[in-house]
Chains A and B, each alone.
Chain A
């Protein structure tokens, strides 16, 4: 059995779903649990072809509830475990992920967003932002990376396993149907060859010794008897989350220094926005570009700083204001005006953004 899935690095031309499977392999994922739903299916297809060659496992479950809860079980056994889903499957996934939040379990879930609400389209959207960042009956104690291209899908899937096991919050890679199905060039690599150290998984259950004799038993609960008991646990979680948020939060930006108008977007839409902003700047129109890479936690300081200098934000997304709501909360009190270009469940081109900006600046 070959030791490493990738030696050094390799230039490839792949679909995003294939990229995710390779990234999970090199990140040391040991088991995937999954249930078919478009547009994430090929993650399972590639994983089931690659996994046996490297001693990794797969289980096809009866639904996404089971895919999420078996992932929880895999993590409890001390394995790097993950699943992938989309749309209505993401809805079901919120139940197991709320348990992962309650117990601080390092599950990794890859979401390839599709149209909503309901079954809608199998194609594409950015309509799973609210659910992925704040879903479940909880407080959003999770980490969400929104990727824009295949290189990032590879980089951030590896990173997601490290972040999850380092900080012990459930971690999501938020892609979409375009990224899932599109073929693109990227460099895949052995993380060690880039100096990326993989965080080791460790078992919660089945540690050496007899519980109660050689060691205390590991007993994890999510149910509390009194309000104060729950409050104390959550206060601890919020403190931890607040502490790690600045370490985890990421964003990219350019052209902010001289711009009154800043185009804000995330994920694959940020590619259109980046191209549009470059084109507009070359034409002498001063527009800035800002993109949160983590949607949870958001890069709040950077958003507030930008929102304090700029006069207007143009929020561009393939949803009816799901990113905009997060931004409004983060920028609350800043004097920035929020303008929008929302196309729920529909792709956005650089031309769309350019014409919207021209409409605004006149």
Chain B
């Protein structure tokens, strides 16, 4: 009766609808594989640290735990990854038989050359970050952002984003951007998670770092309502 219906049936009968769906599914599947599996592999290059560093071994050997090597300088700034000068204090000569140490002493200490460590947590240059404010003032644990790195026996592979040049740790291992631990990601949203909720503890006079760069929100606080939420003018607290 209806010629149109017939035609549709004819098409169907020809088996033409099957390939369309099939190809849709193929396209869908291919893009999913591309987006979830191939893309991350292409996006990040794999780099090895110049020296395989054993944190466990070092933590056992030093007296003051993490702070033996990662300390605050007198002016409140954070030393970050140790410089050769600190390492030399113990590793002036080869101490044991560990091939990594031998390599370190021969290649770097002997030549007075800094180790080109690949820093997993390096933020873009436009980001201001004060360790003192977070560790000393807010009394946060190192592991909140840096996981339990002190328990690692080997340096893991450093994955570098081929577009931005930054470490994969900033976006997070999970390509979808989801995280299960606080240290899984280091994007601005992750900073904002705390900054949107936490209250500031003390007033500006007692800040443990030089006052001349006390960030604006601290100065703008009003009574007990003060928070570390970023106020409107506060972009330049974190961004250069």
A, B from the same assembly: no
Residues of chain A touching chain B, judged by Cβ–Cβ distance below 8 Å, are none
